Structure 1
């Protein structure tokens, strides 16, 4: 039996459409439909209920997906067992939030090239929400981000590596910072508040501070960390970001770290599927090593390792 057909069925069951399956497997939609039809001919049963507009599997299809996943796992184990000393090799599609790009992505890329030159890294930078969707649809092999990933909670199907915590603080130009004392909610209501994208947990934490107040804060959301930093440098508003991003500005006095309402830290983790390839596992392990070294060089009040 063609394992490529089995992989197609497993991906189709996961993403729920022929179009998305074609994108994940880098094939045409017609090729995906033909693979499923060939598999149905091999098994002698219908796997997909074609009478519904929304794609659903038949009962036989549901059972076939479970068995197909087992066969794919066994094939992967067989290949690994026959070449136990082979170095990790192949493409790894890594998705990361921009906070990673600004901190330790470059050291990771350099060290990966030195340690595992046969691994080809394909990097996507996006919001945590979009990365979640890409990993769920198997468009990514490894994701490094800061929000809880629901499919991995209480599941043994994912490999989750906690990496570090970025402390979140209020950052402003000196003229927007209070001369003495801490920022109050009343003061924060009078200026634009700069933070991450609308779907991010830091944005939700900032908004939650004002839940019981009568006025709506002016929260400006940006998926680009660089945009936030430039605007706070220009004095447009007060930012809720990790101070490690603007360490040079804080050291020079161009920006000031302000005391104010406490914000939860950003918890960064690396997540892959449990059955990931050796190349993905090696990349995830090296990521943890790089983050450990990065944290050792930073102010422990701003960045804390979690492993």
Structure 2
């Protein structure tokens, strides 16, 4: 019995098919089938019910899948524990949102490569809901998103927070010092939609304060929201520190609104059954490097 055979049955079951397992393992579907057949021949028992079109396990197949999962986890843990960081070879897919990609992602990747020079990092940039689905489907190994998912299948570690503020094009809103939220109701709200973790957080927060915008434009892109705000299309909640240069340049104006927006906490999230020493180390590096205060960080 080999690890390649165990990996074959594990990924066929985990991803729902032989083709998906072949793609995951960078091989052919026939090679995956051969490895499964080798296991069946070794123990003289069918592992999949071939009377069905889908890859459904037999009773013995269920036992083999659980054994494969346990042995593969033990193998990976042993490798990570005893192999020096500088020679550890892995491919890690990290899902991040647009704001992280625009700010501190380069610093995180640099920190990982400095500690694990042979670990290949593959960033996936998308909205929080899509990243959550990718994590559940094992299409990413870790995601860094706003802390909005309460799911027992995940392990969540806070890495930082974003201070947001209401902003608009200078002069769009009459200067009257501090505003109450309902006083801005005649302005179009430019907001992130519920596919965004930040959108979920603030849309829920607005509802809790009795604010139901009738004139709103929703987008899943923070870059689009910034562009629309700069052009004078409405008001929006935007990250205060990293957009300070645009405020200083006169492209944006910060509005003083009460009550103030709560911070958007960010977390590094992985599946509870897939956490490893390497992922834990990367999460610790994310805590050290997380910084939303300026754009396109290189140091």
* Aligned residue in 2 for 1:284: 283
User: Residue 257 in 1 paired to residue 269 in 2?
Assistant: no
Q: 1:186 to 1:22 in 2, by over 3 A?
A: farther
* Over 6 Å off, 4+ runs: 211-215
What's the CA shift for 1:135? 1.9
SS in 2 for 1:48: coil
User: Are 1:96 and 1:131, in contact at CA under 8 Å, matched by a contact in 2?
Assistant: yes
Question: How many Å separate the matches in 1 of 2:188 and 2:250?
Answer: 21
User: How many matched pairs?
Assistant: 290
Question: How many Å separate the matches in 1 of 2:118 and 2:70?
Answer: 28
Q: Residues 59-208 of structure 1: matches in 2 within 5 Å?
A: 59-80=59-80, 82-83=82-83, 87-149=87-149, 151=151, 153=152, 159-180=155-176, 181-185=178-182, 187-188=184-185, 190-208=186-204
User: Residue 235 in 1 paired to residue 232 in 2?
Assistant: yes
What's the CA shift for 1:61? 2.3
User: Are 2:170 and 2:253, in contact at CA under 8 Å, matched by a contact in 1?
Assistant: yes
User: Are 2:15 and 2:137, in contact at CA under 8 Å, matched by a contact in 1?
Assistant: yes
Q: 1:145 to 1:7 in 2, by over 3 A?
A: same
Question: How many Å separate the matches in 2 of 1:206 and 1:159?
Answer: 23
RMSD of aligned residue pairs (Cα, Å): 3.1
What's the CA shift for 1:52? 4.2
SS in 2 for 1:10: helix
* Aligned residue in 2 for 1:12: 12
- 5+ unaligned residues in a row in structure 1: which ranges? 299-307
What's the CA shift for 1:278? 4.9
User: Are 2:187 and 2:235, in contact at CA under 8 Å, matched by a contact in 1?
Assistant: yes
TM-score by length of 2: 0.81
What's the CA shift for 1:162? 0.9
- Return 231-240 or 136-145, whichever deviates more: 136-145
* Aligned residue in 2 for 1:56: 56
* Aligned residue in 2 for 1:39: 39
What's the CA shift for 1:32? 3.1
SS in 2 for 1:143: strand
Q: Residue 272 of structure 1: which of 264, 270, 273 is its match?
A: 270
What's the CA shift for 1:2? 1.8
* Aligned residue in 2 for 1:305: none
Question: How many Å separate the matches in 2 of 1:34 and 1:4?
Answer: 11
What's the CA shift for 1:144? 1.2
Question: How many Å separate the matches in 2 of 1:100 and 1:263?
Answer: 20
- Return 240-249 or 122-131, whichever deviates more: 240-249
Q: 1:96 to 1:213 in 2, by over 3 A?
A: closer
What's the CA shift for 1:13? 2.6
Question: How many Å separate the matches in 2 of 1:239 and 1:251?
Answer: 17
- 5+ unaligned residues in a row in structure 2: which ranges? 295-299
